[in-house]
Amino acid sequence: MNPIERYAPLVADTDAFFAACERPLPSVVRVNTIKATVERVTDALDEEGVGYESIEWNDELLTFDERGPGTTWPYFHGWLHGQEEVSALPAMILDPQPGETVWDACGAPGSKTTQLSAMMDDTGIVIGNDNNLGRLSALRHNAERLGVTNLMVTKQDGRNFSLNGFGFDEFDRALVDAPCSCEGTVRKNPTTLEQWTLNHVHSVAAIQKGILSRAVQATKPGGVVVYSTCTFAPEENEAVIDHVLETEDCEVVAFDCPLDSVPGVTEWEDDTYDSSVTKTHRIYPHLNDTGGFYCAKLEVTK
Ligand SMILES: C[S@@+](CC[C@H](N)C(=O)[O-])C[C@H]1O[C@@H](n2cnc3c(N)ncnc32)[C@H](O)[C@@H]1O
């Protein structure tokens, strides 16, 4: 069975859902406001005769018509970064402010880390962490190409991240863009589901719970933690939120999702979850012609 089919009971229009999972993904870029403005980029693209369209909910995102962004001058200059539309959501929901101290717990290869830096006007501190050295090289490369200077790169296991030696002991905000079973990336990488097993879903859920717990612990009272995955499995989404609500000092906060979404589910197979997970958002590929995604916003209450 195609693992995606297990989610049919959660989706209203299953035909549209399955059909969207088969289609390739549009090519989207984010304007890197550390080096350029949207106007400067669109002027340059117009001069090159490259076709693009602005994305309604975020004018820093452009969909390319045909030509890949990597062959354009604005990309060469680091004015653009290839980033899927839905992947721009978590940083926007985290809403980091200039001068703050922000932890990106699972940062590589850096799409969201560099977006956080840009949103902070490249001020304050972003700690871009990951536990995978190869992927951290990609993060560093992307950060350098995009001209990011407020970034400290760390290689730690997010589950027991230590702040020793940093000179501060808590973050203003934290992003956990967690490792996951990646079911929602099937449009970008059709072979993803060949590796799928329920055992992997359960083992990665345990890692997600550990990283998200640490993010709540390491964030100041009243601070914000955003949790996101690119998968549909409730075991990796609502169940993870339900777990931290039980074990850590935090609550789910409602947010306006600029993309069409449906609320998180409170029941899945034999499990039930805290009713506040309905304030989290499931984004299915057919709703906005994007990848699949899940996003939750937490406020630290300790
Ligand atoms: C969804 S990807 C992150 C994508 C990244 N946020 C971006 O937008 O470019 C998840 C990342 O989690 C990292 N990871 C897996 N286990 C981890 C752990 N225990 N601690 C920290 N990072 C971990 C993986 O290496 C992977 O790079």
**And the tokens for 118?**
């840009």
Q: What is the mean pLDDT of the chain?
A: 96
pLDDT digits (tens, 9 = 90+) for 168-181: 999 999 999 999 99
What pLDDT score was predicted for residue 190?
86
User: Which whole number is the average pLDDT over 113-132?
Assistant: 98
- Rounded Cα distance between 276 and 252, Å, is 6
pLDDT digits (tens, 9 = 90+) for 30-53: 999 999 999 999 999 999 999 999
Q: What integer pLDDT is reported at residue 69 of this predicted model?
A: 82
**The pLDDT of residue 137:** 98
Name the one residue in this structure whose structure tokens are 């200059």. Answer: 77
Question: Tell me, what's the pLDDT at 282?
Answer: 98
109 lines ligand 1 (CB under 6 A): yes
Using a 6 Å cutoff on CB, does residue 112 contact ligand 1?
A: yes
Question: Which of 103, 106, 229, 293 best tests ligand 1's pocket when mutated (most atoms within 8 Å of CB)?
Answer: 106
Ligand 1 midpoint to CA 52 (Å):
30
- Ligand 1 pocket: which of 30, 81, 94, 131 to mutate (most atoms within 8 A of CB): 131
Q: Considering only CA atoms, which residue is closest to atom 25 of ligand 1?
A: 132
pLDDT at 302: 81
- Taking only the tens place, the pLDDT of each residue in 140-160 is 999 999 999 999 999 999 999
CA atoms within 13 A on the CB side of 145: 21
CA 130 to chain centroid, in Å, comes to: 14
Atom of ligand 1 lying closest to residue 177 CA: 6
Task: Please report, rounded to a whole number, the percentage of residues in the chain having pLDDT higher than 70.
Answer: 100
Residue identifier of the C-alpha nearest atom 15 of ligand 1 = 179
Q: Is the CB of 211 inside a 6 Å radius of any atom of ligand 1?
A: yes
1: pLDDT confidence band, cut at 50, 70 and 90? confident
- Is 68 a residue whose pLDDT tops 80? no
The dihedral built from the CA positions of residue 177, 182, 186 and 192, taken in this order, carries a sign that is positive
CA 222-224-228 angle, to 5 degrees, is 155
Is the per-residue pLDDT at 295 higher than 90?
A: yes
**pLDDT band for position 71 (cuts 50, 70, 90):** confident
Query: Quick one: which atom of ligand 1 is closest to the CA of 179?
Result: 10
What is the average pLDDT across 85-93?
A: 98
pLDDT at 67 over 80: no
Give the Å distances, CA to CA, from 201 to 46, 205, 207. 45, 6, 10
- How high is the pLDDT of residue 16? 98
pLDDT tens for 238-288 read 999 999 999 999 999 999 999 999 999 999 999 999 999 999 999 999 999
Of the residues 85, 130, 157, which should be mutated to test ligand 1's pocket, given the most ligand atoms within 8 Å of the CB?
130
pLDDT of residue 70: 83
| CB distance 266 to ligand 1 below 6 Å | no
Q: Match 């994305």 to its residue by tokens.
A: 55
Between the CA of residue 156 and those of 66, 106, 135, 214, 270, what are the distances in Å?
39, 10, 13, 12, 35
At residue 66, does pLDDT exceed 80? Answer: no
| Whether residue 109 has a cis bond before it, omega within 30° of 0 | yes
How many degrees, rounded to 5, is the angle at CA 260 between CA 59 and CA 102?
A: 60
Give the residue numbers annotated as catalytic, written as ranges: 230
